[in-house]
Structure 1
Amino acid sequence: MMDERGIAVDHSTAYRWVRKLLPIFEKTFRKHKLPVGKSWRMDESYIRIKGEWKYLYRAVDKAGDTIDFLLRARRDKVAARRFFEKAIAHNGAPETVTIDKSGSNLAALNAVNADRETPIKVRQIKYLNNIVEQNHRAIKRRTRPMLGFKDFHSARVILGGIEVMHMIRKGQMKCVGKDPLSASRKFYSFVI
């Protein structure tokens, strides 16, 4: 597009724009995000960064809408608790959370429940987590051609952008007006 307009842009320039602007887009999108359901499905997926596996924590509600995501270096109680605290801070507390048989996720939810008046109901049924497992596919489809990431910070920023566009495509953004907008029009509506 830039070449058609007579503007020469190197790929490293576009990469710097992405690293600088995607966090701003993500922050702006959160202001326009629709509320999510109270029944969450949570799981983590693996992402290769600098030849090592890192963990992308993700949660969706029972309708399949993305609740939140967090990239962490380790898969432990601290990482899982950080994810739940972030998700609850941005989306409110759920009534139930369905997780797989991961002990760290259960320990993190028990730690979160220890600080709450009304505890969150925890279900450890791996087959009810198929919604989030299938939802990982959209992220993997975007990251697989990249052949992994070279930097943790860049991976976190780019994955945030991928997640935001995925949420826009799923219709998780408030729209002003009567006519439904395409994903690109929704993106431009909150960027401009």
Structure 2
Amino acid sequence: MEILSVIINGLLALITGVYACLTWSISKRTKQTAEASERSAESASRAAQASSQSALLAEAALPVEFEIDIQRHSDGAVWFYVLPISANVYLHKLVANLQVIIDKSGEFVDAAPVELCPPDLASWSLPRFIHRGESIAFDWPNPACRTKDVGVWGHVDVEYSFAEATPKRPRSVFVESAPGVSDLAERYVHLLLAEDKDSDE
């Protein structure tokens, strides 16, 4: 009986030892797994940061072109239709620097720089998100261009961003109300220069 008791106690001690070894092994593996998971999380975080930086760099290099068409209405209103060609953007501000062509001789007057705004009946305000290829109208408040004038030309400075809260970027866009309007102004300037030269002689 005593021998059986010794054998049983020995088996219990052996089982306890095996269990202790298994527990230690599991604990070690759990710790290693936790450390590996932590390293994986750190690697994923670094990869996400690198991806974000790459996206920002790619965005910074992205060329954004705009087309702006001018439409003159019979009531004297002048609207600018803005269309981004290469990307979806947020429009923040548009400032027009224009010259008004008075007659077909090309004589012109400088219009004061003006900030274009949404039309009176528009249900939106700036900043305004606009898709690539989508056109949106802006109004020239109190336009210096009269209905009898030949047209207008100049540049519109567009302030835009890729997201509402990201840094704003400038873009200057050439505009003219009809093809050849800027050529009239250029010929008029050359004519004035020629007249001044003749008068000096």
TM-score class, shorter: under 0.3
Q: Look at both structures and tell me which one has the larger radius of gyration over its CA atoms.
A: 2
TM-score, length-normalised on structure 2?
Answer: 0.22
More strand by share: 2
Query: TM-score w.r.t. structure 1 length?
Result: 0.23
Higher helix share: 1
